[in-house]
Amino acid sequence: MKKHVLNWRLSILLSLGFLFVASLYSLCSGSADIALKDIIPTLLKGGGTPEFSILFDIRIPRIMLGFAVGGSLSLAGVILQGMFRNPLVEPYTLGISGGAALGVALCIILGLHRISPDFAMPLFGFAGAFAVALPVSLINIRKGMVKTEGLLLTGVMISYISSSIVTLILAVSRTEDLHSIIFWIMGSLEEPSRALIFIICSLSLVCLGLSYLFSLDLNAFALGEEEAIHLGINIEKTKKILFLIASVLTGVSVSIAGIIGFVGLVVPHFVRMIAGYDHRVLLVISFLTGAGFLIFCDTLARTIISPVELPVGVITGILGGSLFVYALSRKFLMR
């Protein structure tokens, strides 16, 4: 018994360390290089200096957003993979991202993003996400029972439908709109509104706490839904709440940061390979590792060919995908 508690502490410490290092790396790098040892003096000195505003107004908000979005997406991934007992499920499988993309695309071609640049796009993204999540869940909740396979299939189908409509919108939109839609879809951690950043940060932490209440239920789900019932779990209630938490996490992340792929699929997988099946530790480590991973990828995205900033989704895709293939091949070799 003692052994796994030790492993848990170690893995939590490791993921915290990774998050910390990634944040420091992100603080230091950029078009203006600020040395590691200068960070604390600059911040302590207070406002006024250009270094202070770079750190405080540009880099720290980005890190906070990376923390919230990365953490949210991989937390949603762990929850959904555990709930569906399917390692290939990710937050975007349920069609939420497709809906958000559709909402934002509509917002842009209607020109509404010019009215209130800070809030219109996230609002439409969120509305789109829920316009999809709602029918997906309503179709599959019959007589109080959630049909798990149906939820997946309808989610995938609705994704296809909404991405076709987005393609249609792209085909008929003007060049400058085209550019904004595509850049939004590829995802970015650039977010001017402090308020939104604070909202998503606190929301993601609240969702982490809420989902932790169901960590034992998720462990029991690993045995199958019927066995979970035998262990005294009200699976229908649990599934509904977890689906809601995952939808909120995904919907909010996507509507603020766009569709940043792979974090919600790869990080939970990777963490599960290292820390085992137990959700009492998986939920926390996934959140922390996802947060660190996205902060790290975002730093790469804005520094690799600076001053040009790459879409962060490209980096998470390439890095996450290669890590995943590597980890899988290792896993097969070990068998």
Residues near another protein (CB under 8 A) are 1, 4, 212-213, 215-216, 219-220, 222-224, 226-227, 229-234, 276-278, 280
For the chain, what is the total number of helices (H) and then of strands (E)?
15, 2
Query: Cβ(218)–Cβ(231) under 8 Å?
Result: no
Give me the least distance between CB of 60 and another protein, in Å please: 33
Q: How far is the CB of 230 from another protein (least distance, A)?
A: 4
Tokens 């189908």 belong to residue: 157
Between 308 and 333, name the residue whose CB sits nearer to another protein.
333
Cα–Cα distance, 311 to 259 (Å, whole number): 10
Residue 299: partners with Cβ closer than 8 Å, 6 or more residues away: 22, 25, 26, 29
CB 279 to another protein: min, Å = 10
Nearer to another protein, 115 or 229 (CB): 229
Question: How far is residue 299 from each of residues 72, 103, 234, 257, 276, measured CA to CA in Å?
Answer: 18, 28, 43, 15, 29
Nearer to another protein, 68 or 285 (CB): 285
Give the CA angle between residues 321, 269, 67 to the nearest 5°. Answer: 80
Give the nearest distance from C-beta 1 to another protein in angstroms.
6
- In the complex, least distance from residue 223 CB atom to another protein, rounded to whole angstroms: 5
Strand partners, 141: 146
Instruction: Give CA separation, 89 vs 81, 86, 94, 231, 264, in Å.
Output: 6, 6, 8, 25, 9
Q: Which is nearer to another protein, 282 or 315 (CB)?
A: 282
Q: In terms of CB distance, is 141 or 165 closer to another protein? A: 141
